Amino acid sequence: MIHRKRLYIVLVFFLFLAISAALYGQTSGTLTIPTNFQVIDTPSDSGDSLLVIFDKMPGESKDKSYIIYRSSSQDGAFTETARFESDKEYGSDNAQWFGFKKENSNFHAYKVSPIWQMKDVKIRSLGGKVETSQKRVKPLLSYYKIGVMEGIHTLAGTTALSGIPRENWFRKDRLNSMFILIFLFGIVFFFIAQAQRNPNMFLRKIPGIDAVDEAVGRATEMGKPILYSTGYYDISELSTICSVSILAHVAKKVAQYDSRLIVPCKWPVAMTVCQEVVREAYINAGRPDAFNPGDIFFIAGEQFSYTIGVDSIMVREKPAANFFMGTFAAEALILAETGAATGAIQIAGTDSNYQIPFFIVACDYCLISEELYAASAYLGRNPQLIGSLKAQDMGKMILFLALLLGTILLTLAVFFPDVKFFDVGIFNLIKNFFTVR
């Protein structure tokens, strides 16, 4: 009995072996070159790569891999440029080129670089020795073949296709952002036009902004200076530009009340700009002689040396009001606490999320993130600026609708998967639009 059982087991075992061997032979024997092989220019790129596309084949797995060969001529020596596992690199992995269609998972797409025409560039160092390095000039017509390999078996295709990358005239994958950009342009223009027709629009109160004048007034009463910091970034950053236009307002008030304004700067260009802005304020107030460029100076260009410098000023000059407007990093609390210790009234405004809590705690008023950008419009009361604020609100309104409708539609799309918009489902439509490729 038992013996027979054993016999069966042995038989089954051998059978299994035979089958597996046969299967192995099968797979390794018939390596097939993928069909429908083509080389195309990579869509919407700056012309430095090509796409190799071929069909998905049966029996793809991670121990079977595709190889791409490259050569400079039709019948020249082809060398391997890329190798990837055969169950990877489907068209569906690259939404930026093919979108979210179902069919994308039926073909492979692999990005390959062409052969480049190089030129030498000689660089002479101060020591006098000359180094030569290569620089790309333009891509050449290059030929590609595909091969497939499994284990030790390799099979290279015979058809060699050629391609040369072209520079495309448009980034299709950025269509969505372009759409939004143009749309926002539109509403900004529209609302600016409208604001010029009726300048007095309603704006809700923002306590921090109303406090600015109050702080300046208080400083003048106490006959103490005012300190204004434009933050971490150079004038090129938008937050700094907004800060500067708030500074313009502050400077105007200061010039009227005839008190002193100290602006320690972290960036040279920002410094010169601040000087111009403040000088103009004094000129408009009719007392250019009162302007002292020495009060608007460059302290130090490095984060913490700037911090330490401003701290020292606070401790020595004891300003009655400190303004911290712009982007701030770790130094935020150091500045704010030192200022609080000197008993100054402090108004902060920053767009850097992680510093807002510290400003809220340590300062008297804090403009939260985008309020900083709105402040100049509030203070300037210039119809055009207010118009742009309106436009912002409209933009928010649209984001609302997009959020709500989008969520509802997607939720529905889950329940009714086969509802079609144009040729893609709602799901894909929305996904398509709100995806960064």
Partner 1 sequence: MNFLKRRFPIIIVLLTGVLIMIAYYVPHTPFSDFWDGASKWYQIIAGFTMVLGVVSLVRNHYRKIREGKQGFGYSIAMFVIMMATVAFGVLPTEISPIFGNRSGSVFMWIFEYINTAASATVYSLLAFYIASASYRAFRVRSLDATIMLVTALVVMVGRVPYGEIFSNYLTDHIGKGLAFLRLDNLTSFLLNYPTVATRRAITLGLGLATVSTSLRIILGIEKTYMGGDN
Partner 2 sequence: MSAYAPWATTLGIWIAAGITLAVYSFLYKDNPFYKLAEHLYIGVSTGYLLVIAWQDAIYPQFIVPVFFQSPPVYMILLPGIMGLMMYTRFFKKVSWISRISLAFVIGWTSGVAAPVVIQGSLIRHMGSTIIPLFRLEFFSLNIWSILFGILALGFWAALLYLVQKDKYADWGTGRRAILVSGVILFTILFFVAAVFFSRVTVGDVYNYIFRGDRSKLDLFNKSVDAFMSTFYLLVILVGVITVLFYFFYSIEHKKILKGVAKTGIIFQMLFFGAAFGYTVMGRVSLAIGRMRFLIIDWIKPSTGFQWIIGLGVFAVLAVLFLLQDRSRRSSETE
Neighbours of 396 (CB within 10 A): 10
Q: Which one among 14, 16, 170, 400 touches partner 2, defined by CB under 8 A? A: 400
3-state secondary structure of 175: helix
Q: Which is nearer to partner 2, 7 or 403 (CB)?
A: 403
Residues 324 and 348: beta-carbon distance below 8 Å: yes
Does 140 sit near partner 2 (CB under 8 A)?
no
Residues 164 and 49: beta-carbon distance below 8 Å: no
Phi, then psi, of 230 in degrees rounded to 5: -95, 5
Q: Which of residues 224-283 bind partner 2 (CB under 8 A)?
A: 235-238, 241, 269, 272-273, 276
**Packing angle, helices 383-415 and 426-433, rounded to 10:** 150
Q: Which is nearer to partner 2, 74 or 407 (CB)?
A: 407
Does 30 sit near partner 2 (CB under 8 A)?
no
Binding span for partner 2 by CB under 8 A among 22-30, 160-168, 176-184, 253-261: 176-184
Q: Which is nearer to partner 2, 224 or 390 (CB)?
A: 390
Does 300 sit near partner 2 (CB under 8 A)?
yes
203 binds, among partner 1, partner 2, none (CB under 5 to 8 A by kind): partner 2
Choose among 36, 65, 72: nearest CA to 52. 36
Spatial distance between the Cα atoms of 57 and 189, rounded to a whole number of angstroms: 54
**Packing angle, helices 383-415 and 175-197, rounded to 10:** 140
Q: Which of residues 84-123 bind partner 2 (CB under 8 A)?
A: 121-123
Q: Which is nearer to partner 1, 106 or 305 (CB)?
A: 305
**How near is the Cβ of 271 to partner 1 at its closest, in Å?**
6
Q: Which is nearer to partner 1, 33 or 308 (CB)?
A: 308
Q: Which one among 92, 368, 384, 424 touches partner 2, defined by CB under 8 A? A: 368
Spatial distance between the Cα atoms of 437 and 434, rounded to a whole number of angstroms: 9
Spatial distance between the Cα atoms of 251 and 204, rounded to a whole number of angstroms: 24
223 binds, among partner 1, partner 2, none (CB under 5 to 8 A by kind): none
Choose among 146, 145, 149, 148: nearest CA to 75. 145
**How near is the Cβ of 30 to partner 2 at its closest, in Å?**
41
Q: Which of residues 306-345 bind partner 2 (CB under 8 A)?
A: 308-309, 311-312, 315-316
Q: Which is nearer to partner 2, 21 or 360 (CB)?
A: 360
